[in-house]
Structure 1
Amino acid sequence: MSKLRIGIVGTGKIFENAHAPAWLSSPHVEVTAVSDVYRPAAETQAKRFGTDRVYTDYMEMLEREKLDAIDICAPNVLHSEIAVAALERGIHVFCEKPDAVDAAGAERMADAAARSGKLLMVMRNNRFSPQAQFLKRYIESGAMGDIYSARAVWLRRRGIPGRGGWFTTKAMSGGGPLIDLGVHMIDVAIWLMGSPKPVAVSGAAYTKFADSKLTSAAPRRGATAGGVFDVEDLAAGFIRFDNGATMQIEFSWASNIEEDVSKLVELRGTRAGAMLRNRDLKLVTEIEGAICDIVPQFPKDDTLTQWRNIHHFIDCLIGEADPISTPETGVDMIRILSAIYESAATGAEVRLDEAEQG
């Protein structure tokens, strides 16, 4: 079987540290071309893969190279545009989160995937930890009963990813920690809950640390002191689903809190509860008239969940797995995020079911 030919669009930190090692470790693929508007970065990454096919224009790469799939790690605002262009040329797409910066963009991606018959997969890496996989099986066994309430949280004391780069520029990113961090935890929480449909959202967003010099997160390419910061640094909200379940959310790049709260999902069911935090899992249930905390033990595994997600994408392409997510999942996710921002701006709840009917 010949190897799948992969093209790369965007070679920033997320590609360098999380995506590239996954592609390099697979025997089923070869990265044959690399594109980045900053040519030296593209050349550096191309050398890792032993290719000299380097572009500063991704459209030129799509037109000139015979690619089976591409990996998109460009700024958020470009995700939909690049994905649609590739899908229309019969190329499978793997894309870093978020799917798009608005629901219309996510819908264009889903429509293009349906028309082309090609696979569109967006990074849902938090579904791939051993703990999340175990919890999903536990829930599907019925051991938690009906999950009626959830909480998704990712709070940083100081973790603004550089001021003035595309992360803090709304026109490029679509938003701050909600679209950067929240997209991860909301996704894995909804997936664990059985993927109910969101029907209503309310939210609030704050920008209080734009002038802080204590950012702590490694600055991204293009970040400049005194640059643009027109996104939120904290977002909070409440989501209602069609099955009556609800979810509280809170995400920040900067907060005056005692300690970071990283990658937390809490689920409350009628028979048991669960707390998934990073790679720690705790279950709470009643046994013989007592409330018991159960802490499952897992073998040590430092494999990045991003690697697992990309390998899953490859397995789907070679017919060894069925996709764990669909483009429609992404449409629902971006509709939620957009509604939270809308509610934060208007102060009113946003109904998603009425928008669908309209």
Structure 2
Amino acid sequence: MKKLRIGIVGVGSIARVAHICSYNGMEDVEIVAVSDIVPEKMNYDQIPATAKKYADYREMLEKESLDAVDICTPNDLHSEIAVYALEHGKHVFCEKPDAISFEERKRMSAAQQKSGKVLMVMRNNRHTAGSLYLKKCVDAGEFGEIYAGRCGWIRRRGIPGKGGWFTTKSRSGGGPLIDLGVHMLDLAIYLMGNPKAVAVSGSTYCKFAEADDISDSEHSSFGEKKEDGIFDVEDLATGFIRFENGASLQVEFSWASNIEEESRFVELRGTKGGCTWKDEQVKVFNEKNGALVDVVPKLGPANGHRDNLRHFVNVVLYGEAADFDNAQGENMVKILEAIYRSAKEGKEVKL
């Protein structure tokens, strides 16, 4: 059996809870090497004993015979490592966000096109059972024209790694908008048919930087806290996106705000029907035989992270058609960048 020989760069939280365990469960994947600037992290007991360990990912690429590189580092390193790996003839899978600026995302696209290798970025929410069901509904035309929607990931208290790289703009690129926004924005736009954004309005707020470090979210365990560290990003972002086909999308993302409870959601409205995706549970709203009907499908379990990584392996090894491309990645980073710019300038930004 041919195996995908992969090297993982960054073996912190997301690598441990999503990537390493997923690859370990795949017979056609071998974790050949890992790299992290903190040597102790590479002692993680789920890393195969045969995997070589490197402090410098460049040395790993030079010394190991790898097919692909999986990037699980802080956001500011995503584009740098991706471009380097592509230039050295490796397929690349990267954690979200694609990059912290549109210019860096374009560098990734250019490197991918020149190399001819596969470049994919984590879009795990496309691969949940509910998302797959809704995509089939969309493709079958059951919603008609999807013309409006709203999406968000809002937390009551759940700031990750307060004072560390998550809350340091030069490393993360921003707060919950770039951290959480990628997830629900991507799912909404994906289900809407990947329309191109043409205008964005946004507002950002930072109200909890000095607040007590309370958490009611399991997700806030990501990142490493740093006492007296930096907090120069937003803790709440709202926005409105208009697309070239006339559709629109309202967005809201927060690490901390005085709401009842944490929630992830996508709500779409079409001419024939609509839907909600809330915390991976879905409902469809339409009419049948002269009555309004709510449909709640019974769906089996799914692991979005694992299945997204499985999709990447299938694309590389078996030629499966990729559900993600550079245009989608660029559109995402352009939207994020524009919302931040709109918030700073206090006006709509045309794309």
- TM-score bracket, normalised by the shorter chain, equals over 0.9
Pairwise CA distance, 1:278: 1.8
Corresponding residue for residue 295 of structure 1: 296
Corresponding residue for residue 169 of structure 1: 168
The alpha-carbon distance between structure 1 residues 125 and 219, as it changes in their structure 2 partners (threshold 3 A), is closer
Corresponding residue for residue 84 of structure 2: 85
Pairwise CA distance, 1:86: 0.1
Q: Secondary structure of the residue that 1:108 maps to in structure 2? A: helix
Corresponding residue for residue 33 of structure 1: 33
Corresponding residue for residue 111 of structure 1: 110
Equivalent of 1:250, from 252, 263, 266?
252
Pairwise CA distance, 1:132: 0.6
TM-score by length of 1: 0.95
**Aligned residue identity for 1:144:** F
Cα distance between partner residues in 1 of 2:30 and 2:161 = 33
Corresponding residue for residue 271 of structure 2: 270
Cα distance between partner residues in 2 of 1:278 and 1:315 = 27
Corresponding residue for residue 185 of structure 1: 184
Cα distance between partner residues in 1 of 2:173 and 2:214 = 20
Cα distance between partner residues in 2 of 1:52 and 1:296 = 42
The alpha-carbon distance between structure 1 residues 221 and 140, as it changes in their structure 2 partners (threshold 3 A), is closer
Instruction: Verify the 8 A CA contact 1:162 1:215 in the aligned structure 2.
Output: no
1:128-164 deviations in Å (ceiling 9; x for gaps): 0111111111111111110000111110000001211
Aligned residues: 348
Corresponding residue for residue 60 of structure 2: 61
Corresponding residue for residue 325 of structure 1: 324
Q: Secondary structure of the residue that 1:238 maps to in structure 2? A: strand
> 1:4-43 counterparts in 2 under 5 A?
4-43=4-43
1:183-233 deviations in Å (ceiling 9; x for gaps): 010001111001111000010000000012233154445421221100000
TM-score by length of 2: 0.97
Cα distance between partner residues in 1 of 2:319 and 2:299 = 25
Corresponding residue for residue 307 of structure 1: 306
Q: Secondary structure of the residue that 1:318 maps to in structure 2? A: helix
Moved more, 311-320 or 165-174: 311-320
The runs of 5 or more residues in structure 2 that have no matched partner are: none
Pairwise CA distance, 1:51: 2.2
- Identity within the alignment, %: 52
1:6-39 deviations in Å (ceiling 9; x for gaps): 0010011110011111110111110111000101
Q: Secondary structure of the residue that 1:61 maps to in structure 2? A: helix
Pairwise CA distance, 1:84: 0.1
Q: Secondary structure of the residue that 2:152 maps to in structure 1? A: strand
Instruction: Verify the 8 A CA contact 1:268 1:274 in the aligned structure 2.
Output: yes
Instruction: Verify the 8 A CA contact 1:42 1:54 in the aligned structure 2.
Output: yes
Cα distance between partner residues in 1 of 2:222 and 2:199 = 34
**Aligned residue identity for 2:108:** M
Corresponding residue for residue 145 of structure 2: 146
Instruction: Verify the 8 A CA contact 2:129 2:299 in the aligned structure 1.
Output: yes
Cα distance between partner residues in 2 of 1:54 and 1:43 = 9
Cα distance between partner residues in 1 of 2:58 and 2:47 = 22
Cα distance between partner residues in 2 of 1:331 and 1:175 = 17
1:237-276 deviations in Å (ceiling 9; x for gaps): 0000000000000000000012222x20000000101001
Cα distance between partner residues in 2 of 1:214 and 1:169 = 16
Instruction: Verify the 8 A CA contact 1:18 1:304 in the aligned structure 2.
Output: no
Q: Secondary structure of the residue that 2:293 maps to in structure 1? A: strand
The alpha-carbon distance between structure 1 residues 181 and 149, as it changes in their structure 2 partners (threshold 3 A), is same
Instruction: Verify the 8 A CA contact 2:5 2:68 in the aligned structure 1.
Output: yes
TM-align CA RMSD: 1.2
Corresponding residue for residue 342 of structure 2: 343
> Does residue 1:235 correspond to 2:237, yes or no?
yes
**Aligned residue identity for 2:259:** I
The runs of 5 or more residues in structure 1 that have no matched partner are: 353-358
1:305-333 deviations in Å (ceiling 9; x for gaps): 10000000001111251111002211110
> Does residue 1:316 correspond to 2:315, yes or no?
yes
**Aligned residue identity for 1:111:** A
Instruction: Verify the 8 A CA contact 1:163 1:219 in the aligned structure 2.
Output: no
Q: Secondary structure of the residue that 1:37 maps to in structure 2? A: coil
Cα distance between partner residues in 2 of 1:185 and 1:110 = 23
1:48-103 deviations in Å (ceiling 9; x for gaps): 21225111111111111111001100000000000000000000000000000000
